[in-house]
């Protein structure tokens, strides 16, 4: 199914429609939303939301859903929309790989002096490690790599240097020490003891940077052991989480339950000019919208029957759209965990602290940008944002009532069937390659009116295939650094 590049943004008056749908969905979902706010969303080229996020064939994560939810938001736009060709994981990686934890000048001087006093103990640790494992860890500071490895991988849950030095039962604390690591432990503790009161400073440097490396590794090289998730195309990617379960989403949208949560839209339509309609929502102020960006469908030989045969010939045209099965789906990056084996990747504390410390960084101990960050606007209008949820519903049923001298012809034409795609706001409701909308026709001869009810194809209603999509009524945006 193809989608326009940017229908809503190119047609500002369409905002009246999507704002109305968003507000009604927010009322329906007020209990589920809590303090979260729904915002209008431009579906554009991203398409509607593929809600079957877990592939029922193998229980892996749906690649289509993952690509959709991991998109980043386009800055300074209303309604909210995805930035073409970008994703949030890349933006986050750009930020986090430019951050390190370091001490203030005064505290670094204190630590440097303590480090000089521990030279012999440090050499003993390096020698013990090399003797046990054959070589020193890679990196510019092997002792720091050893310390972070012992604290974060030889203990479950992970611990820190001060806890190791102060432990009265080291075997219980470091419960995953490999056999080759046993000779290292006594000299390692001696090295920690040699630091004395300055160990707290060394602990901060070692542990904060160790966790940074773990978060980056989970992002750059995701695996099942560091919290990555497997997509149904076989790729392992940084983890996102989605709620609720697919079965709950499908249940909410099923015909048996969908009627209890309906978002509806009632409009009157008339011809304003050859290229525009005048539309009002339930008696509100009228606004203009381009003919090809409202409702289009083909009947018989007319490619846009709604415009050419219904609105042009009608004295009074109303459109009532119902979106059944309105429900809320939330999602987002899986937060980084410092303890346990599944670390995941999304850790915002370093980013927020680095932003607070500025660039060039203040002379404080903490997370800092190493170079001028490529992202300069961290606000809720900048690029560092993602969607945290969507209000979705089944594709709409469209009920069109027209009073016209041609009502009999319209009824006859529709009984022949809708034979081309149906679209709303430039977004296809069903394409020619899919099952077409079914049309029900009711005629009131005494009033010269005909009512056409267009039902969406069965394949688009509460589907359970991995490409099933829900119509987006509104979205929750998240700007985690603002």
pLDDT digits (tens, 9 = 90+) for 92-139: 999 999 999 999 999 999 999 999 999 999 999 999 999 999 999 988
Highest mean pLDDT out of 12-21, 49-58, 283-292, 310-319: 49-58
Task: Break the chain into its structural domains and give their ranges.
Answer: 7-43+74-83+245-327+390-478, 99-229+334-373
Query: Given pLDDT bands bounded at 50, 70 and 90, which one contains residue 26?
Result: very high
pLDDT of residue 466: 87
DSSP string across 76-125: T-SSB-EEEEEEHHHHHHHHHTTEEEE--HHHHHHHHHHHHHTHHHHHHH
**pTM passes above 0.95:** no
The SS3 call for residue 398 is strand
pLDDT value at residue 465:
83
Q: How far apart are CA 101 and CA 113, in angstroms?
A: 19
Dihedral pair phi/psi, residue 321, rounded to 5°: -110, 135
Copy the structure tokens of residue 264: 């509806």
Contact 170, 164 (CB under 8 A): yes
9 pLDDT more than 50: no
State yes or no: pLDDT of 158 exceeds 80.
Answer: yes
Q: What pLDDT does residue 3 have?
A: 42
Question: Which pLDDT does position 4 carry in this prediction?
Answer: 42
CA distance 135 to 446: 94
Structure tokens at 311: 């609105």
Query: pLDDT value at position 303?
Result: 81
Q: Determine how β-strand 314-323 pairs with β-strand 71-73.
A: unpaired
> What is the share, in percent, of the chain residues with pLDDT greater than 70?
93
More confident call, 463 vs 124: 124
Q: How do beta strands 397-404 and 314-323 pair?
A: antiparallel
pLDDT in tens, 208-245: 999 999 999 999 999 998 999 999 999 999 999 999 99
pLDDT more than 90, % of the chain = 74
Mean pLDDT score of the chain, rounded to an integer? Answer: 91
Q: Give tens-digit pLDDT for 388-409.
A: 999 999 989 999 999 998 899 9
Q: Which of 16-20, 160-164, 382-386 has the lowest mean pLDDT?
A: 16-20
Q: What average pLDDT score do residues 444-473 get?
A: 84
Q: Are strands 397-404 and 263-271 parallel, antiparallel or unpaired?
A: unpaired
In this prediction, residues 152-164 reach a mean pLDDT of 94
Beta strands of 308-434 (E only): which ranges?
Answer: 314-323, 327-333, 366-369, 386-393, 397-404, 422-424, 427-430
Predicted pLDDT of residue 1: 39
pLDDT at residue 11 greater than cutoff 60: no
pLDDT of res. 189: 97
Q: What is the CA 223 to chain-centroid distance, rounded?
A: 20
Q: Decide if 382 contacts 244 (C-beta within 8 A).
A: no
pLDDT of 439 reads 81
Give me the phi and psi of 42, to 5 degrees please.
Answer: -90, 110
Best-predicted range by mean pLDDT among 177-181, 292-296, 445-449?
Answer: 177-181
What confidence tens digit (pLDDT) does each residue in 321-380 have? 999 999 999 999 999 998 766 689 999 999 999 999 999 999 999 999 999 999 999 999
Is pLDDT larger for residue 186 or for residue 429? 186
Inform me whether the pLDDT recorded for 300 exceeds 80. no
Residues 426-453 have a mean pLDDT of: 79
């Amino acid at each position: 199914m193809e989608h326009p590049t940017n229908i809503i943004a190119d047609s500002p008056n369409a905002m009246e429609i999507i704002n109305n749908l968003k507000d009604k969905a927010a009322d329906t979902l007020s209990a589920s939303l809590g303090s979260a706010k729904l915002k209008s969303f431009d579906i554009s080229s991203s398409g509607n939301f593929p809600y079957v996020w877990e592939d029922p064939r193998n229980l892996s994560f749906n690649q289509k859903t993952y690509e959709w939810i991991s998109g980043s938001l386009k800055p300074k736009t209303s309604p909210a929309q995805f930035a073409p060709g970008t994703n949030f994981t890349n933006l986050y990686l750009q930020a986090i790989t430019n951050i390190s934890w370091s001490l203030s000048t005064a505290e670094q001087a204190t630590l440097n002096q303590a480090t000089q006093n521990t030279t012999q103990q440090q050499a003993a640790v390096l020698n013990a490690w090399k003797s046990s494992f054959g070589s020193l860890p890679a990196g510019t500071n092997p002792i720091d790599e050893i310390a972070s490895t012992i604290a974060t991988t030889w203990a479950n849950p992970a611990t820190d240097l001060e806890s190791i030095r102060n432990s009265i039962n080291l075997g219980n604390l470091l419960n995953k020490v490999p056999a080759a690591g046993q000779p290292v432990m006594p000299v390692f503790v001696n090295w920690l003891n040699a630091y004395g009161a300055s160990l707290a400073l060394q602990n901060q440097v070692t542990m904060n940077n160790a966790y940074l490396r773990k978060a980056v590794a989970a992002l750059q090289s995701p695996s099942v052991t560091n919290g990555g998730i497997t997509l149904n195309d076989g790729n392992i990617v940084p983890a996102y989480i989605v709620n609720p379960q697919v079965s709950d989403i499908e249940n909410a949208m099923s015909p048996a339950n969908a009627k209890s949560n309906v978002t509806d839209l009632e409009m009157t339509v008339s011809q304003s000019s050859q290229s525009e309609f005048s539309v009002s929502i339930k008696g509100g102020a009228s606004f203009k919208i381009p003919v090809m960006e409202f409702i289009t469908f083909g009947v018989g030989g007319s490619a846009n029957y709604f415009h050419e045969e219904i609105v042009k010939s009608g004295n009074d045209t109303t459109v009532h759209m119902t979106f059944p099965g309105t429900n809320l789906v939330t999602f987002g990056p899986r937060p980084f965990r410092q303890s346990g084996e599944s670390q995941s990747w999304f850790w915002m504390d370093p980013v927020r602290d680095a932003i607070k410390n500025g660039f060039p960084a203040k002379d404080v101990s903490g997370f800092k940008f190493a170079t001028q960050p490529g992202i300069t606007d961290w606000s809720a209008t900048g690029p560092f944002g993602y969607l945290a949820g969507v209000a979705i519903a089944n594709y709409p049923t469209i009920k069109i009532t027209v009073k016209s001298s041609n009502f009999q012809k319209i009824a006859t034409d529709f009984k022949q069937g809708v034979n081309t795609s149906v679209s709303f706001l430039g977004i296809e409701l069903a394409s020619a390659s899919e099952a077409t909308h079914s049309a029900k026709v009711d005629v009131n001869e005494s009033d010269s009116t005909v009512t056409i009810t267009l039902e969406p194809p069965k394949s688009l209603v509460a589907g359970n295939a991995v490409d099933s999509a829900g119509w987006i009524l509104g979205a929750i945006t998240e700007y985690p650094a603002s």
